[in-house]
Structure 1
Amino acid sequence: MKNKYSFFIALLAPTAMALFFAGTLFHGGSPGGKSGSPGDNGATCTQCHAGTATQQDGMISTNIPELGYVTGETYEVMLSATDADAGRFGFELTAEDADGNKVGQFIISADGQTQLANGNKAITHTASGITPVGDSKEWAFTWTAPSTDVGIVTFYSAVNAANNNGGTSGDQVLTSNVSYDESTIGIGEEPLEAFFNMSPNPSFGSIKISHEYNDAKLSIIDISGKIVFQEEYYQSDAQIDLSNLNKGVFLVQLQSKNQVKTKKLMIK
């Protein structure tokens, strides 16, 4: 009798584990490496969910100009998907150069619906970011272009439009990509580089930022993408106390109207 029970447990274990991972664990985000990109070997959500990935243009949109991105600049990215049969949505999105290398830095949204994945080289949903509005779902976040010339950058995404039946069947996996070349317009022009000046850097617990705008939103972000300090209306040259932050590298982002500029800060 004992051997018979052991046989049934061994038989059911793989099915139970598959349902656990597909129906529960990944509600909290992609396991990573499932964007459908060349750097991810084309892997998508179909590795865990039944079906064939379908290419769908227009799911990824950004405010990167038609002339291309500028190195070091930060841009808004939006991913949207529609499926009338979906009860939940999930995604993974990454950015790569022509050789499949991950490039740039993703910054998660303040609404708690996104998080970093795949060693901080991609972005995915959280458990709070899976519920559709009607038959659609949108995620918004930002991406900082690499500081050096890497040529054409392509954003790749895979979205799982899940029917929420608790299993892996009946889901639709949608893939999309969009490419941008590096802009040669404005590179080396002083106004681009002088959007704000930050000192001291490295810092031992406080900084001040000089900028040229009447209103500016200041955000300081750790390497996990979490906003650790934010001020809606930061006045130029006002002292900022960061003594409560751990030592390490942070991103300092200043946003005014339609412009966003990001710099790296080292706290020692």
Structure 2
Amino acid sequence: MKKKLLSVALLSILFLLIQSFKNAEKASDYYAPKDYHSNIKYRSGGPAANGLGDRTGSPVSSSTCTACHSGGSYSPSISLNITDNGGNAVTDYTPGQEYNLSFQITSANGTPAGYGMQATALLTNNAAAGTFTTPSLNAQIIPVSSRSYFEHNARSVTPNFTSKWTAPSVGTGAVTFYFVGNAVNGNGGTSGDQPTPATTLTLNETLSTSDFVFQKNIKLEQNPIKEALKINFTENYETIALEIFDISGKSIFNKTYSNVSNIEEDLNIQSGIYFIKLKNENNLNASLKLIKE
């Protein structure tokens, strides 16, 4: 009798162990890399933010959103409208000037459940061009390999994405924006979505005489720097507003100086690439690229 009870107990334990392993397998499958959570939610937070890098179709990477999304029939397209702070459309940029970027996705067929996008600005040598700042609530700015990417931060219910962009310094040359959008059906998978074609827009450099003179009056004493930032001016200015941005477009230093012919600041910043924006009392702009060792 005891042997029979022992056998029943062992069988019960074995049954419970088998059920436990089955449940554990289901739980682990829930988080498997191939499932919904990695394959969809992972990407919905933005490709650059989640380690997928450049998906704009730029020379840095020919890959676009079609690497993951396909099957939809929305026939979407994406456009970029660039204006100055007066609301005027621009086709050229003035070095150091701030501009407004507005990306819009339109669909020729159907009504998508949401939208995504990614953009970057590059020089002819594929280096980062200018600085993205102030993304709209549905977007973010992510640094990847010393370049800056503006992209969605979740599935967006609106097809519009906006950002500020500060143009690079004098002598940089043409800047090309590379961008791509995605119209999605929101079914929790990559099927049934349709990315836009990879699109570009190029701005050529132009200078006002006043901005050019101001830029030429500025000299970085050292670049790269190890500790202190030292800027000399060839003339005295009533006021100089200095702002420094990191590669992601985040403002990390902001200060205004009065009656100044030089600036010296000890910067407590990490090694990397930064962008300096300067403005004088006449609202003339200049920008510089800074490297911290």
TM range (shorter): 0.5 to 0.7
Q: 1:201, 1:265 within 8 Å by CA — same for their partners in 2?
A: no
Q: Give the aligned partner of residue 222 of structure 1.
A: 246
The aligned runs of 1:10-89 (5 Å cut-off) are 17=34, 19-30=36-47, 31-41=52-62, 43-51=63-71, 54=75, 56=77, 58-63=79-84, 65-66=90-91, 68-69=92-93, 73-82=96-105, 85-89=111-115
One-letter amino acid matched to 1:192: F
Q: Percent identical across equivalent pairs?
A: 20
Structure 2 gaps, min length 5: 1-17
| 2:283 pairs with 1:261 | no
The aligned runs of 1:189-228 (5 Å cut-off) are 191-195=211-215, 197=218, 200-202=221-223, 204-207=227-230, 218-228=242-252
TM-score norm. by structure 2 comes to 0.62
Larger radius of gyration: 2
Distance 1:116 1:48, change over 3 A: same
One-letter amino acid matched to 1:141: K
Distance 1:205 1:16, change over 3 A: closer
Shift of 1:142: 1.6
More strand by share: 2
One-letter amino acid matched to 2:118: E
Q: 1:61, 1:79 within 8 Å by CA — same for their partners in 2?
A: yes
Distance 2:93 2:197 in 1: 23
SS at match of 1:141: strand
Q: Give the aligned partner of residue 119 of structure 1.
A: 145
Structure 1 gaps, min length 5: none
TM-score norm. by structure 1 comes to 0.67
One-letter amino acid matched to 2:182: N
The aligned runs of 1:71-150 (5 Å cut-off) are 73-82=96-105, 85-96=111-122, 101-111=125-135, 113-125=139-151, 127=153, 130-132=155-157, 135-142=158-165, 144-145=167-168
Q: 1:59, 1:81 within 8 Å by CA — same for their partners in 2?
A: yes
Q: 2:240, 2:278 within 8 Å by CA — same for their partners in 1?
A: yes
Distance 1:264 1:149 in 2: 11
Q: Among residues 156, 169, 184, which one is paired with 1:162 in the alignment?
A: 184
Distance 1:228 1:82 in 2: 32
Distance 1:56 1:75, change over 3 A: farther
Distance 2:246 2:185 in 1: 35
Distance 1:96 1:60 in 2: 17
Q: 1:149, 1:182 within 8 Å by CA — same for their partners in 2?
A: no
RMSD: 4.4
SS at match of 1:24: helix
Q: Deviations over 1:106-159 (max 9, x none)?
A: 4232358322354233513253x6544xx4322213254476566x54322111
Distance 1:139 1:162 in 2: 19
Q: Deviations over 1:28-75 (max 9, x none)?
A: 32122211335432x221211123695636334354844x345x5455
Q: Give the aligned partner of residue 199 of structure 2.
A: 177
Shift of 1:227: 2.3
Distance 1:227 1:198 in 2: 21
Distance 2:274 2:36 in 1: 39
